[in-house]
Structure 1
Amino acid sequence: MTSAQTEELISVKTRANVTENQVEALKKEGEVKRVAFSASLFDSGEGTFGPFNTNTPLVFRHVVANIGNAYNPNTGVFTAPVRGTYHFEFYVFGYGHPSHPTAAWLVKNGEHIFMAFEYQTNGLTNGSNGVSLLLEVGDVVFLRQSSNSRIYDNQNHHTTFSGHLLFTM
């Protein structure tokens, strides 16, 4: 092998190593960007939550997806693992009642953002809402049942909370 060929081989190997390192970095970055969850209120059984005298955090125990493990099914809290824009949607189901609506707030870092609310005296109720939010690493999002409201869930998983990362910032 000539000196020129040796130099060219070293150059190709160096570029190949750099490319390999870049590919690995992109793979790791892509893994961090995969964030999505979806859960319903009851893992099993059925029942009505509320009414309560105060706003009460909801813990969604039946987790069907938790990609990135950013949702905690023990606390009901989603914690942003990366800075980015996230989309959340939530549905609250109930039975009409003369004195109690079906209602929940989406809460970001303790601040009420959007509410799902439905009120009727009888029949079925189903309130829903959705929002896209810019979250910083460590920001928390959860649902809080509105005081004096009633929310129902059963094996059909009517009451749900879902979210996913749209893109990083």
Structure 2
Amino acid sequence: MSSSLAELKVEVRNLQRDNEVKQVAFSASLLASGSENIGPINAKTPLVFKHVVTNIGNAYNPNTGLFIAPVKGAYHFEFYIFGAGHSTYPSAAVLLKNGEHIFLAHEHQLSHSSTAANGVTLLLEIGDVVLLHLWENTWIHDDENHPTTFSGHLLFTM
């Protein structure tokens, strides 16, 4: 009887662990504090979103800007890019999966502020990497209101 109870406890712990890894969600803005324009830079540049509001499952790394899928499944990502308006430089960022261009958010206002946004659902394998790059020759802005954000979550495992 005691060995059956011990086996049952192990099985419950395993189920709890498996359930925890299936809980994946993050949301972050670009700057932890202050106000800054980033760019323009004449090459794609990784964006590191440092102000993490949520990071359930710790799949997003605020030191590198990389989201690494902990389980195979369908994931949804959204990103919002804020620009202050400029006569020459638009505001844009591209979402990459394992280095492959997936979607671009792009906006160009000559004056006043602008926001570009995009979202996508991706089938990811364990270890797949998703991140945002600043698009070449563009610039973005973030400040204490956190208008430039990157979020994602696991919809379901496969």
- TM-score interval, normalised by the smaller of the two chains: over 0.9
Tell me whether 1:97 sits opposite 2:86 in the alignment.
yes
SS in 2 for 1:54: coil
Segments of structure 1 that go 5 or more residues without pairing to the other structure are 1-9
Give deviations 1:54-88, integer Å, cap 9, x for gaps.
11110101111111111111110101111111110
Q: Which residue of 2 aligns with 1:132?
A: 121
Quick check: which one's helix share is greater? 1
Q: Gaps (5+ residues) in structure 2?
A: none
TM-score normalised by length of structure 2? 0.94
Is 1:85 aligned to 2:74, yes or no?
yes
Matches of residues 2-13 of structure 1 in structure 2 within 5 Å?
none
Matches within 5 A, 1:1-169: 19-169=8-158
Q: Distance in 1 between matches of 2:17 and 2:109?
A: 50
Cα distance between partner residues in 2 of 1:125 and 1:77 = 25
1:15 and 1:75 map into 2 onto residues whose CA distance is 45
Larger Rg: 1
Calculate percent identity across the aligned residue pairs: 59
Moved over 6 A (4+): none
2 CA distance for matches of 1:70 and 1:16?
34
Q: Distance in 1 between matches of 2:129 and 2:49?
A: 15
Amino acid at match of 1:126: T
Distance in 2 between the 1:72 and 1:22 partners? 31
Supply the distance in 2 between the matched residues of 1:71 and 1:24 (Cα, whole angstroms): 25
Q: How far is 1:17 from its partner?
A: 5.4
Shift of residue 22 of structure 1?
A: 3.5
